[in-house]
Amino acid sequence: MIILGINETSHDASISLVEDGEILFAGHSERYSKIKNDWYNNKEIYEDVLNYGKPTHIAYYEHPQLKRSRIFLRGGASDWKPNISMNLPVKYFSHHYSHACAGYYTSKFNDAVIVVLDAIGEYNTSSIWIGEGSKITSVHKKNYPFSFGLFYSAFTQLVGLKPNEEEYIFMGMAAYGDWAKYFLKVNEYFPDLKKQKYNFHKGIFDWDMPISEQDKFDIAAAVQKVYENRLVNFMSMAQKLTGKRNLVFMGGCALNCAANTMLWRMFDDVWIMPNPGDAGSSLGAAAALYGSHLNWQSPYLGYDLGGKYPVTEIITSLIRDKVAAVATGRAEYGPRALGNRSIFADPRDPLIKDKVNLIKKRELFRPFAPVVMEEHADKWFDMKFSSPYMQYAVKCLQPDKIPSVVHKDGTSRVQTVNREQHPGLYEVLSNWYAMTGVPVLLNTSLNIKGQPLLNDEADITAWENTYNFTICR
């Protein structure tokens, strides 16, 4: 059985291909169409996935009729339908079950609680499951309008950012704000798990105060604080209901790396797969149909540029320019560049941040993330766990030595890497460490603000021509 998993008609369409538990392909539509968060899969991604095998079954990540009824009931478009055209048997799985499967079946756990928090699926917005062996059982569900994700998105929109897309910018703004200023006011919108009745789908329509530039940062800080408080409440409930000590966390909310760090204080072990949002659900749906753990090795599952990891070229570029861009091998499945479509830079230079921000045309307050050799991580960052997919913000212990990867609040969103996970990137870091005494590099995505990560050869040529900068490959 070769299963084609599909996620589309929501933000960030994707496709996965799974044969007998082996993940042959997993990629994002946006990387092929060049449309950020593309809602639909396209001819190019279908053509690419077929290079890896001919599917015999299709697994779809939602129940389209149920979602359609919900969209219809709230007055949205009623002519919406899934865009599946292949003449193969199709099996539909619920939105939250696909999230749960993407998480649990890529984890190493045989016994865990699975928590899914997002904006909305068909009707479910929050769910708790138990994973035991190959079985996933539903324990608890909450429906729209209760929603962690819609709460966060509505406030993202209130400060003038794009909901369902720019929550990560809003999250970064929190470090620049005073959370106490608007805490009580924001808390009224989400006072506890029982009393949240506000319909965030309509936005924060009753905000009755003018919002200055600084207020935007203060609101972001208050929203992050309220979100973290409610998250701890929800995770405590999940623990009480199941008694489990291993956590699988999924849904778009699992991209909140500042809040994710708190989970390590509540559970013995935590797994967040590198693509916990809806784009990960094409793999989740395929895993649901397979019905058991997948052979999860790495997130490098998308378009293949081929080539050997250009270690020498990267080091040469770093010494010469303090910056090195790299595009090689298979593209990352998930929103973060983890070394195959990355820009690296010297984290010791405080001015390098502005240089990279100008290249990427990003807001100057946006933080950059470090990649660190795993065995050195706890000497540079306050962490007792590894973070191979850049999912946790932790306190930097030596901020004076690597100022360009430390956020305003003293934290860094760390990626740890060991030789097994990525031999080429590990070698780059080892060489850099031998030369500088610092086992850390700045790592950011190889893209331009608002555009998807670079994917193929044509993207590389276009980028090089635009910036007059050679990409290592």
Q: Which is nearer to Fe ion, 153 or 447 (CB)?
A: 153
281-340: contacts with Fe ion (CB under 5 A): none
C-beta atoms surrounding 252 within 10 Å: 25
Query: Looking at 264-272, 274-282, 421-429, 448-456, which segment touches Fe ion (CB under 5 A)?
Result: 274-282
Instruction: Report phi then psi at 203, rounded to 5.
Output: 80, 175
* Region from 114-122, 265-273, 288-296, 424-432 binding Fe ion, contact rule CB under 5 A: 114-122
Dihedral of alpha carbons 318, 323, 328, 333, sign? positive
- Minimum gap (Å) between residue 281 Cβ and Fe ion: 7
Q: How far is the CB of 204 from Fe ion (least distance, A)?
A: 21
Q: In terms of CB distance, is 284 or 302 closer to Fe ion?
A: 284
Q: What is the DSSP letter of 452?
A: P
Q: Which residue is nearest to Fe ion (CB)?
A: 118
Instruction: State in angstroms the smallest separation of the CB of 116 from Fe ion.
Output: 7
Residue 8 touching Fe ion (CB under 5 A): no
Judged by CB under 5 A, which stretch of 113-121, 214-222, 354-362, 394-402 contacts Fe ion?
A: 113-121
Query: Phi and psi for 288 in degrees, rounded to 5?
Result: -60, -40
CB half-sphere exposure, 356, CA atoms < 13 A: 30
Q: Closer to Fe ion at the Cβ: 19 or 278?
A: 278
Q: Which of 167, 278, 304, 459 binds Fe ion (CB under 5 A)?
A: 278
Report, in Å, the least distance between residue 121 CB and Fe ion: 5
The continuous run of DSSP H or E covering 5 comes out as strand 2-7
Stretch that binds Fe ion, among 111-119, 203-211, 316-324, 378-386 (CB under 5 A): 111-119
> CB-wise, 92 or 463, nearer to Fe ion?
92
Q: How far apart are CA 383 and CA 79, in angstroms?
A: 49
Least separation, in Å, of the C-beta of 10 and Fe ion?
7
Chain residues 348-377 in contact with Fe ion, contact rule CB under 5 A:
none
Write down the least CB distance from residue 170 to Fe ion, Å: 18
| CB 252, min distance to Fe ion, A | 6
In 3D space, the residue among 167, 169, 165 whose CA is nearest the CA of residue 39 turns out to be 165
Q: Which of residues 225-264 bind Fe ion (CB under 5 A)?
A: none
CB of 119 to Fe ion, least distance (A): 7
Question: Among residues 24 and 248, whose Cβ is nearest to Fe ion?
Answer: 248
410 torsion bin: left (phi>0), alpha (psi -120 to 50), beta (else):
left
- Distances 178 to 111, 215, 230, 456 between C-alpha atoms, Å: 40, 9, 19, 42
Q: Are 104 and 94 in contact (CB under 8 A)?
A: no
With contacts defined by CB under 5 A, name the span among 118-126, 294-302, 396-404, 420-428 that binds Fe ion: 118-126
Q: Segment near Fe ion (CB under 5 A), from 28-36, 78-86, 271-279, 430-438?
A: 271-279
- Min CB(62)–Fe ion separation in Å: 9
Residues in contact with Fe ion, counted by CB under 5 A, come to a total of 2
Q: Which residue has the tokens 């910036």?
A: 467
- Asked if 408 contacts 417 with a C-beta cutoff of 8 angstroms, the reply is no
Report the nearest approach of Fe ion to the CB of residue 114 (Å).
Answer: 14
Nearer to Fe ion, 118 or 167 (CB): 118
Of 284 and 299, the one with the shorter C-beta distance to Fe ion is 284
Asked whether the CA dihedral 423, 425, 426, 428 is positive or negative, the reply is positive
Instruction: For the chain, count helices (H), then strands (E).
Output: 15, 19
Among 38, 48, 62, 118, binds Fe ion (CB under 5 A): 118
CA 113 to centroid of chain Cα atoms: 20
CB neighbour class for 215 (10 Å; exposed up to 12, middle 13-18, buried from 19): middle
Helix or strand (DSSP H, E) at 187? helix 179-187
**Residue ranges binding Fe ion (CB under 5 A):** 118, 278
